Amino acid sequence: MSKCAELTRRDILKSGAAVTTLSLASGVTLMAFGGSDADAAGADAGKRWGLLIDASKCDANCTDCVTACKTENGWDAHGDHASPETSSAWIRKVTLKDRQTGRKVSAPVMCQHCDTPPCVDVCPTGASMKRADGIVLVDKHICIGCRYCMMACPFKARSFVHEPVHDQSVNAPRGMGTVEACTLCVHRIDKGRIPACVESCEAAGHSAILFGDLKDPDSPISKALEAYPSIALRDDLGLNPAVRYQNL
Amino acid sequence: MERTIYREIKATPSVWMVAILLGAFVGAAGLSVLTIEHHGHIITGMNNQIVWGLPHVFAIFLIVAASGALNVASIASVFGKKAYKPMSRFSALLSIALLLGGLSVLVLDLGRPDRLLIAMTSYNFTSIFAWNMILYNGFFVIVGFYLAVQMITGLSAKMVKMAGLAAFIWRLALTTGTGSIFGWLVARPGYDAAIMAPLFIVMSFAFGLAFFLLTTLVLFKLSDREFGDVLLKRMGSLLGVFVAAVLYFTAIQHLTNIYATEHAGVERFFLREGGIYTTLFWLVQVLIGGLIPMALVFLRPSRQSTIWASILVIIGGLAQVYVIVIGGQAYPLEIFPGYEVLEGFNEGMVNSYTPSLYELALGLGGVAVTLLAAGVGVKILRVLPTNLSDANVPADS
């Protein structure tokens, strides 16, 4: 008897949560990508999508990948008060100088889509999630904006939406008060296309970013990783990122 | 010696004045929250580098103090010190009020506070945050039960002791959870230390006792009751011991880091070159909130020195939480070891943070919620003893 009552109570709670999610969704016209099992059905556990960035091919003066990402995902459209500190940055270009040798090098940095992502570990609601194919995403429906994932991310890959958003892209719905980051252009990948940053880098004639399936030993990215040395950022943390760097 | 009698406080004009003042602070916090909700966090001092700001400092201070305020009750119920027994009801009530105030700030500073229901129904059990939600809710239930068994007449002392023990263990778990929010952040050199959990526990002892002493004295003053000098000095000495323990754990925290070469940078930042954080650490946390209170209670024990020590411990405690929470974020992440970052997204530089008035109002509102809740509690419940004069305090066996 008591068990029945408990189940009923739990069911009511669950349905309450579901209604909230739906009404919030219609109010802000958010579309979840991979937010539920059904949505994530497109993700193939037999694959792990990743990037190999060759810093020697990256032009210090080129920001085409950043521009393409902004256009594709609509995160350039910020409010009136945004500053560089408060604006979103799903991808950023960094120029580095070796302290010992003086060698300079440039490369883009985005969500590293870790195999064991700290952001997913710390997220209290499960909004930070990793798809079966390794893409790390934020479910905007259940992100409460606590920003613990931003505290945990070793790469500063995540941004908090500080202001009401305008001119959103249908590819990547955004919402004030929630956290966002590079989705590896999951909407493109699910349609068999490559991420916007990779495409723009190719178009610019640099081809510094190679995209592919890390689990397929015959994919160009796997072959390149096997043939040449590469590193992961903060490899000491043992997170096994899906983004790796050559000649950094 | 008369029996300990608990009575509600009377709603005198001065009690009303204090309540109205606290209500104004709560109102200001409410307005701040609505304004932030409307415009977004852009109007606060936070940014994408310093994501937890002043509200978190207040929230964490209050949550840490909550478990510490329960100490007085634990000393009586668990460790059998009879002199603390008359204060243990209010100790339980105040700890609930402190947690309520701290959680109010934490929840209202969320990007989406309207989604609290999701936080309550959708758990990710690898998150220490999710565990904390259970620890916080459990604290309300267990300490509430503990308060109830103390107030219900006719219950055996053993039952009170068992409830007190459960609450004591739970509060240790709760503060371990709060400290681990930072201790388990492996990526940030300012955190990532197992000592965070025990450090937070000793911090809770000091902050909670200081807050308890000041609140009790104000309530006694407002309701014209007597708090004995000997008892107060005795509790002042205990506060001094707790403050010494905080300094000890703080010293170990930094010495451990200094020994590891990889952490030399962050230690140089906190202890020597961190500007406001270095000043807050040495001047406010260590000197004003540590050494001076110890000197006051140990070298010149008196009623006044205990009161001053309590005030300074709270000021120093807020500084300590500020240095941990904000200083830990201000120090840059080392994403590219061995490289100097010439161009990037605030890479490799100390991140700046200036708290806004909205955040201050929200934080102070949390303190006001705590004090209002405690005040309403002592108005409607019989938790405050009528007489704590030295002649009336039970002697320890």
CB atoms inside a 10 Å sphere around CB A77: 15
* Through-space distance between the first and last CA atoms of chain B, rounded to whole angstroms: 16
Nearest to A159 by CA among A72, A64, A76: A76
Contact: B118, A87; criterion CB under 8 Å: no
Token output for B111: 């990007």
**pLDDT tens digits for range B250-268:** 999 999 999 988 889 999 9
Q: Which residues of B247-271 are buried (b: 16+ CB within 10 A; e: fewer)?
A: bebbeebbeebeeeeebeebbebbe
Q: What percent of chain A has pLDDT over 90?
A: 76
Phi and psi at B6, nearest 5°, equal: -105, 130
Indicate if the pLDDT at residue A40 is higher than 60: no
Q: Which of A104, A152, A248 sits opposite B342 (nearest CB)?
A: A104
Quick one: fold of A31-246?
Alpha-Beta Plaits (3.30.70)
pLDDT tens by residue, A196-243: 999 999 999 999 999 999 999 999 999 999 999 999 999 999 999 999
pLDDT of residue B154: 84
Length of chain A measured in residues: 248
pLDDT at A77: 61
Give domain limits for chain A. 1-30, 31-246
Mean pLDDT of chain B: 95
Q: Provide CB contacts within 8 A for B249, sequence distance 6+.
A: B195, B198, B199, B202
For residues B211 and B63, give the distance between their C-alpha atoms in angstroms, rounded to a whole number.
Answer: 12
Task: Kindly indicate the confidence band of residue A22, based on its pLDDT and cuts at 50, 70 and 90.
Answer: very low
Could B124 and A97 be called an inter-chain contact, meaning their C-beta atoms sit closer than 8 Å?
A: no
Chain B closest CA to A168's CA: distance in Å? 17
Token representation of residue A16: 């309450």
B276 CB-side CA count, 13 A: 15
Q: B335, B347, B351: which to substitute to probe chain A, counting the most A Cβ within 10 Å?
A: B335
A12 pLDDT tier (thresholds 50, 70, 90):
very low
Give the gyration radius of chain B's Cα atoms: 21
Instruction: Report whether pLDDT(B193) > 60.
Output: yes
Q: Which residue, A150, A99, A123, is CA-closest to B345?
A: A150
Query: B123 in contact with A at a CB cutoff of 8 Å?
Result: yes
Query: What is the torsion angle, in degrees rounded to the nearest 10, for the CA atoms of residue A79, residue A83, residue A86 and residue A92?
Result: 110
Q: How far is B307 from chain A (nearest CA, A)?
A: 36
- Tell whether the model's pLDDT for residue B54 goes beyond 70: yes
Left (φ > 0), alpha (ψ -120 to 50) or beta: where does A247 sit? left
ipTM: 0.93
Per-residue pLDDT of B70-117, as tens digits, reads 999 999 999 999 999 999 999 999 999 999 999 999 999 999 999 999
- The pLDDT of residue A34: 43
Residues A139-173 have pLDDT tens digits of 999 999 999 999 999 999 999 999 999 889 999 99
Pairwise CA distance, residues A24 & A41, whole Å: 23
Confidence at A32, pLDDT banded by 50, 70, 90: very low
pLDDT digits (tens, 9 = 90+) for A169-181: 999 999 999 999 9
Q: DSSP character for B2?
A: P
Q: In the structure encoding, which two tokens stand for residue A215, read together?
A: 């689990």
What share of chain B has pLDDT > 70, as a percent?
99
Please choose, from the candidates A148, A149, A150, A180, the residue with its C-alpha nearest in 3D space to the C-alpha of residue A163: A180
Interface probe for A, chosen from B47, B52, B56, B118 (most Cβ of A below 10 Å), is B118
